[in-house]
Structure 1
């Protein structure tokens, strides 16, 4: 039985994988895309000082040597020292490369310096978080990082070694991803030990939220992502400039999740800024007001909020506690016609026309098998495809379809032309969230607020040298 991802062109899946690489290297959620560099050669053994000659003359070195190969990487050059721990220019470059991967492989040349500074700030915060965890005797075992790394690689059907090769080819490294994973796990465990244990939520608070939700049945909910930039310590101008640049890139198609992971200063950065399903009244008033004017797929201007600026993205919308046809779970058959390399559009058009006619007269789900035979096409079946997870254009096509009908052909000559035949549809009737779900959401919001304050205090108390 094929996975739902098998219904979409390979090129689209690879683009998703690259974006998810920066989205998915989290301690809580598997991320996406690629491969570790080969192991570094072992360091040379130290020279025997007692037997070493005390003059260079024996080496017969040329006066004007010709140099070969590339210069030594800047791995030995300190960019910042945080409480005695060094961040190198290589660390910055490799983390910047991860951001580039999430942005389709390119970053605007005129913004590189600002992006570099932001990445450095992120690395400083990450170092402070790891140091704070160690101070509380919280250590992250290599096997914990390995498990997350394996989930990341498995998400794109690769091994960690293959992921490393991909990263190396794109200017990053497995070491950079491992460090990011270590920081996220360390911070998560530290918050659990120092912050979550002190957060309390009363049963009456949870009951009040549930009562309001039941009273608001049919009102709109939003699936929201957030990028939060702090303005603490007189940082307003820098935060505003960064927010403006991020917004420009997002509107040109950059990955919101990738930018949230690298730039957001909220604890939700580890999950790409995902706030989950929320109603406007659950959010601060400035965000709530903006949210009510937004639709799916839109991104807000920077919104001033207490302590900083927020950019929000609406990923989806739904009616609270109301049946939504997009929640349906579909049983589908996909028929894919592929063309030999070099086939022109003029040569393919007659085949596509016959394919479209066959789709119009598919004659039920069983007819998909006959079409596949007639066109020597590939047939793939999946019984657990959520309509909401299909591309928006296909959602619109399939919502009014009846069982046994097929879509119009879609795709491309290069990657194949396909149809989807609807074999079944199970509607989902949503109910109110459970007491535990509401409890967890309220608790998480309070933990996020205290986590920001905790990180602010770590920055304030740190000894940081810039080189």
Structure 2
């Protein structure tokens, strides 16, 4: 049967009347799918941004860091997501890829860490509403970015024998060194910034510096304004000797007393503000001895099926069991999710700088035989037990290796930040966050 013109117009009119109601029925869906940024050939949606902001908010609350205004936090998180997208596109352009076999091996390790077979792990993801195909691609992205950094930054750092000789001569002359806990704020400058842009950025940095010196919470300022990857950790760089810091940081830090804030520092990457959080006697002795720590740990990793709250709760339960006399090594064998589990969580004798700053700070605060509170690091959540400590003379080869590692640590952050700045500047970005 054919519709006559009057009937067709009537139907179109009814559809026109219904359309606003249909759009009004689920406005939150339409809003969540709104594009907030175009990055090269990719986009970031509002729902993706909100999920990341929610995660960052929970992290800041756990650290007891005052929350920045929601608008500020959204803008900071959007910039981090743009950097991630830019890195993935750079990896694609270079032909870097993670093949399916490597990806499946990585996911199998994640499943094993969660005490599941691969099929059980897939079922758990589906139960939580996470499509396995999407999860696979997220893991592929993480591995890809790691390989990109290794290829473009880490592998290109060159430490000469002359640098090592000079480093060893300086540390030997100084004898016992001090360690400094510092936090920083970075305002990244574009690669080809105009004088007007630099002046605007400098004025912004000077205003932040003024607030920091007036007593505003430094961690909150870092979370609100810093362009560094550690911004959501309050800009905390952990305990380092001056030799393990970028030169611009070490020169400024050496002049500060605890809780003092540096002058505004200028580097090729932009403007920096440093705050000295604490100072303590170092581990390097005049005779070349190094204080080493024999430690164990239990690690619970965060994954798509194990939230941060779940990981923390598991370790708090284990800590209660330890208080009631259970053996740390046995619990590590049963529950720890890394390669040390088979050895009862034993990590061997650790030198300063062998572990990430968050782990080392917690470990150094313990007495022999003491177990830490639950602590978080980039690898997940840990319980740490210090078994013993000693001061050990290092062989010449070991001293040179330690010197090389310290020099790499000094250079690596600056090199990575410089590379990210160049990548960000050549990536097409269109902001739509404030569009109605």
TM-score above 0.5, yes or no: yes
Instruction: Identify which of 279, 294, 306 aligns with 2:241.
Output: 279
Instruction: Find the counterpart in structure 1 of residue 36 from structure 2.
Output: 79
Pair 1:464-2:429 in alignment: yes
RMSD: 5.6
Shift of 1:115: 1.7
Distance 2:251 2:30 in 1: 48
Pair 1:380-2:343 in alignment: no
Change (3 A) 1:276 1:100: closer
Pair 1:57-2:11 in alignment: yes
| 1:374-399 per-position Cα deviation (integer Å, ceiling 9, x unaligned) | xxx83223366999979989958x57
| 1:140-199 per-position Cα deviation (integer Å, ceiling 9, x unaligned) | 45776777778789889997987999999xxxxx979975x6665434423433444543
* Correspondences of 1:203-352 after superposition (within 5 Å): 203-222=161-180, 226-232=184-190, 233=193, 234=198, 235-238=201-204, 248=216, 264-265=227-228, 278-283=240-245, 284-285=247-248, 287-290=250-253, 293=256, 304-306=265-267, 307-311=270-274, 314=277, 317-322=280-285, 327=293
| 1:336-392 per-position Cα deviation (integer Å, ceiling 9, x unaligned) | xxxxxxxxxxxxxxxxxxxxxxxxxxxxxxxxxxxx9xxxx8322336699997998
Does structure 2 conserve the Cα–Cα contact (< 8 Å) formed by 1:286 and 1:303?
A: no
Instruction: Find the counterpart in structure 2 of residue 122 from structure 1.
Output: 80
Shift of 1:137: 0.6
Does structure 2 conserve the Cα–Cα contact (< 8 Å) formed by 1:220 and 1:279?
A: yes
Does structure 2 conserve the Cα–Cα contact (< 8 Å) formed by 1:328 and 1:425?
A: yes
| 1:392-437 per-position Cα deviation (integer Å, ceiling 9, x unaligned) | 89958x57xxx9xx99xx9xxxxxxxxxxx9x96331144553223
SS class of match (1:379) = coil
Change (3 A) 1:79 1:265: same
Distance 1:287 1:82 in 2: 36
Does structure 1 conserve the Cα–Cα contact (< 8 Å) formed by 2:185 and 2:235?
A: yes
Instruction: Find the counterpart in structure 2 of residue 356 from structure 1.
Output: none
Distance 1:329 1:465 in 2: 49
SS class of match (2:37) = strand
Distance 1:222 1:213 in 2: 15
* TM-score, scaled relative to structure 1: 0.53
Runs of 5+ unmatched residues, structure 1: 1-53, 169-173, 332-371, 411-421
Shift of 1:99: 0.9
SS class of match (1:427) = strand
Distance 1:291 1:166 in 2: 51
More helix by share: 2
Distance 1:97 1:314 in 2: 28
SS class of match (2:38) = strand
Change (3 A) 1:146 1:221: farther
Distance 1:326 1:130 in 2: 39
Instruction: Identify which of 43, 48, 52 aligns with 1:91.
Output: 48
Shift of 1:446: 3.5
Instruction: Find the counterpart in structure 1 of residue 93 from structure 2.
Output: 135
Change (3 A) 1:447 1:75: same
Instruction: Identify which of 144, 147, 166 aligns with 1:189.
Output: 147
SS class of match (1:72) = helix
Runs of 5+ unmatched residues, structure 2: 1-7, 298-320, 330-345, 353-358, 374-384
Distance 2:40 2:263 in 1: 33
- Give the aligned length: 336
Change (3 A) 1:447 1:164: farther
SS class of match (1:87) = strand
Distance 1:177 1:294 in 2: 48
